[in-house]
């Protein structure tokens, strides 16, 4: 059985690990409470831009050194930024633990050099352009902007071309000092990990992290204005799109709310890609390419998404079919048979996932960062087993009958 261990260093950095010394690999990651919702207008896109800059050299390593060493350790490593956190991770053979921890920890104190900042600005602008060309052509960002407003959770993770073009390196340095404080960070590890070695090394490497002064809090945004480059139209015109992309958003449970397990099961029964109610009505019949629902949990709030992709001519009829499915599950609840099927599928998925330490790392690190809680694979299986028809049916009533906002990306 894997063993869970955790500690908090004197500087506030938390370390959490799920250790299983039978594994072939070990995964490590820094989880940082830094995301789009922590930015103000002139910082829009900064959490993500900073994520890129963390690979661009430290006092001890050049940018090329960082990339080279990551490759030397054979690591499958990378980073991502969301509305609420930024994560840097790598999976390596256990014998490389010391070296990867040294590298990742060093990266957490970057140089943020002006010349690298200028080159990377171009890469970020390319990344924004790349997503503009990809379905659903910014419709998810737009949904969050309209639903939450264009700030906070509605702020775009990538920022806008306008915000990135005018971004200042000093703003990044101040933002870094505000967010990358040890008490805002978790070092997580999973798999074949030497925990005592990890703690000892991290303590040494992070010894001076708490010593930087806290910069002043930036002035709050003027809520009466719309940030640069943002539009909150509910229709996105995509001149050469073949399909139409429709998103609806309403309330869902937060990551702290106990309803989240029942809501996830509800999403499986209603919208799973393989054998759900929406699958049989819309996908199996070829009426739509995608017709699904899912909950998205944030730390203190949540959302429930409905997503439809189909021929623009069929949006209306398909929307009606989806509404019928939702109305029925709100009114009559779920059946035991379909719930059991969803639970069995999720149970096997959970067991199969657990065979790779890299799969376990993200849930572990992110949960410890935001809620200081740990769920083992067995805890998750227990939660799944305890779900019943009443709880899932209640979740349908609670989350599927409210008002929603709607975004459509299509050629009109």
- Residues making contact with another protein (CB under 8 A): 22-25, 55, 63-64, 67-68, 70-76, 91-93, 119-123, 125-127, 129-130, 132-135, 239-243, 274-275, 280, 283-289, 309-311, 337, 340-342, 344-345, 347-349, 351-352, 354-357
Cis, bond preceding 408 (omega within 30 deg of 0) = no
Q: Are 159 and 45 in contact (CB under 8 A)?
A: yes
Q: What are phi and psi of 301, to 5 degrees?
A: -155, 180
Residue 272 or 297 with smaller CB distance to another protein: 272
Q: Provide the minimum distance between the beta carbon of 68 and another protein in the complex, in angstroms, as a whole number.
A: 4
Q: Provide the minimum distance between the beta carbon of 32 and another protein in the complex, in angstroms, as a whole number.
A: 20
Cross-strand pairs, 79: 88
CA distance 204 to 231: 47
Q: Provide the minimum distance between the beta carbon of 41 and another protein in the complex, in angstroms, as a whole number.
A: 23
Tell how far CA 398 is from the center of its chain. 24
Residue 95 or 371 with smaller CB distance to another protein: 95
Rounded (5°) CA angle 392-398-401: 115
Q: Provide the minimum distance between the beta carbon of 401 and another protein in the complex, in angstroms, as a whole number.
A: 27
Residue 336 or 372 with smaller CB distance to another protein: 336
Residue 232 or 352 with smaller CB distance to another protein: 352
Beta strands 235-237; 405-410: pairing state: parallel
Residue 68 or 328 with smaller CB distance to another protein: 68
Q: Provide the minimum distance between the beta carbon of 79 and another protein in the complex, in angstroms, as a whole number.
A: 11
Instruction: Give every CB contact of residue 259 below 8 A, 6+ residues apart in sequence.
Output: 253, 395, 398, 399
Q: Provide the minimum distance between the beta carbon of 307 and another protein in the complex, in angstroms, as a whole number.
A: 13
Instruction: Give every CB contact of residue 47 below 8 A, 6+ residues apart in sequence.
Output: 34, 35, 36, 38, 39, 81, 86, 157, 175, 179
Residue 102 or 259 with smaller CB distance to another protein: 102
CA distance 209 to 214: 12
């Amino acid at each position: 059985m894997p063993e869970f261990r955790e500690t908090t260093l004197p500087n506030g950095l938390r370390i959490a690990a799920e250790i299983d010394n039978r594994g072939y690999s070990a995964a490590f990651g820094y989880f940082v409470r830094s995301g789009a919702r922590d930015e103000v207008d002139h910082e829009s896109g900064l959490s993500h831009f900073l994520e890129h800059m963390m690979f661009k050299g430290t006092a001890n390593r050049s940018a090329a050194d960082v990339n080279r060493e990551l490759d030397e350790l054979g690591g499958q490593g990378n980073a991502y930024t969301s509305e609420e956190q930024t994560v840097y991770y790598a999976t390596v053979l256990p014998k490389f633990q010391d070296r990867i921890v040294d590298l990742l920890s060093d990266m957490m104190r970057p140089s943020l050099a002006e010349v690298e900042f200028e080159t990377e600005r171009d890469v970020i602008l390319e990344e924004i352009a790349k997503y503009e060309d990809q379905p659903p052509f910014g419709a998810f960002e737009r949904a969050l902007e309209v639903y939450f407003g264009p700030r906070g959770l509605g702020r775009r993770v990538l920022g806008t071309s306008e915000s990135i073009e005018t971004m200042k390196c000093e703003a990044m340095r101040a933002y870094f000092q505000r967010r990358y404080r040890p008490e805002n960070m978790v070092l997580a590890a999973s798999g074949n990990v030497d925990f005592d070695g990890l703690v000892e090394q991290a303590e040494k490497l992070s010894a001076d992290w708490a010593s930087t002064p806290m910069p002043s809090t930036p002035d709050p945004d003027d809520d009466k204005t719309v940030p640069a480059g943002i539009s909150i139209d509910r229709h996105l015109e995509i001149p050469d799109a073949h399909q139409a992309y429709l998103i609806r958003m309403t309330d869902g449970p937060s990551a702290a709310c106990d309803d989240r397990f029942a809501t996830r099961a509800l999403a499986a029964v209603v919208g799973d890609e393989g054998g759900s109610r929406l699958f049989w009505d819309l996908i199996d019949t070829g009426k739509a390419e995608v017709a699904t629902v899912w909950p998205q949990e944030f730390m203190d709030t949540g959302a429930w998404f409905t997503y439809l992709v189909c021929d623009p001519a069929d949006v209306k009829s398909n929307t009606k079919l989806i509404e019928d499915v939702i109305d029925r599950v709100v009114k009559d609840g779920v059946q035991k048979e379909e719930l059991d099927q969803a639970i069995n599928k999720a149970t096997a998925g959970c067991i199969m996932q657990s065979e790779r330490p890299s799969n376990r790392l993200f849930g572990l690190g992110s949960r410890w960062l935001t809620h200081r809680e740990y769920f083992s694979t067995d805890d998750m299986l227990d939660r799944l087993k305890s779900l019943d028809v009443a709880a899932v049916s209640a979740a349908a009533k609670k989350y599927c009958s409210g008002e929603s906002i709607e975004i459509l990306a299509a050629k009109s």
